[in-house]
A and B are shown apart, each in its own frame.
Chain A
């Protein structure tokens, strides 16, 4: 079974530029997560989708970050405009079930996209 796919793996941009990341979850997984992992820290949840709806985006900086999962499958995360402090690894994860149906769903993580903002 294929794992969670992410692209690109690496991206270098200058501050105030825009950038987009793509994630393709494991086939059939209803829930998709985007995490931000700053160097030396653990991952922090940015946004959680259940199918194509947003479950939790409380920690997403909405003035510059946006995410969508239009058809309930793959997802894009965009930063516009980027700041120096956005330099991090952006991890995508997916899990099989939906909140409320299964109280626990193991999350499967992709390899991440390493963003450097200069």
Chain B
């Protein structure tokens, strides 16, 4: 069975601090996709990143960076120099890569991030 665990329910930091959101996943698939989505107060889910399981390189995009460690089944997300606009609920997610499983995304329960001015 596939499962995504986001142990941090809520995080609150002061603006400009760095913050890391943890994600641990379980899957029996040998290949899979990992995702992060952002859900601002407006409600729409905004796609941030997709990572294929055979690509273990870490990725940086502006103030965002992702650390994928297959050995510990973790895919953590770090925001550097956080801003108030980063306040949202962040979801980590997992899918297969097969014919039908690629579109079946399993979401974690989310981490609510609040950035205080």
Contact = CB atoms under 8 A, between A and B. Distances in A.
Interface of A: 3, 31, 33, 40-45, 48, 55-56, 89, 91, 93, 95, 99-100, 103-112, 114
Given A42-B107, A111-B42, A104 B50 contact: yes
Interface in B24-56: 33, 42-47, 50
A105 B102 contact: yes
Contact of B108 (A3, A42, A108): A42
Interface of B: 4, 33, 42-47, 50, 91, 93, 97-100, 102-105, 107-110
Contacts of A33: 103
A48 B101 CA distance: 12
Given A42-B93, A104-B33, A106-B50, A31 B103 contact: yes
Contact of B45 (A40, A45, A91): A91
Contact of B105 (A3, A45, A110): A45
Given A33-B103, A104-B102, A112-B43, 9 more contacts: A3-B44, A42-B4, A42-B107, A48-B104, A55-B100, A99-B103, A106-B50, A107-B103, A110-B44
Contacts of B50: 104, 106
B100 A109 contact: no
B103 A43 contact: no
Nearest to A104: B102
B100 A41 contact: no
B47 to A, nearest CB: 6
Given A42-B110, A43-B107, A103 B42 contact: no
Contacts of A48: 103-104
A99 B102 contact: yes
Nearest to B95: A104
A56 B104 contact: yes
Contacts of B105: 43, 45, 107
Contacts of B104: 45, 48, 56
Interface centre among B4, B43, B50 (most CB of A within 10 A): B43
Going nearest first, the 6 A-B pairs with the smallest beta carbon separation are A42-B107, A109-B45, A112-B43, A103-B102, A111-B43, A111-B44
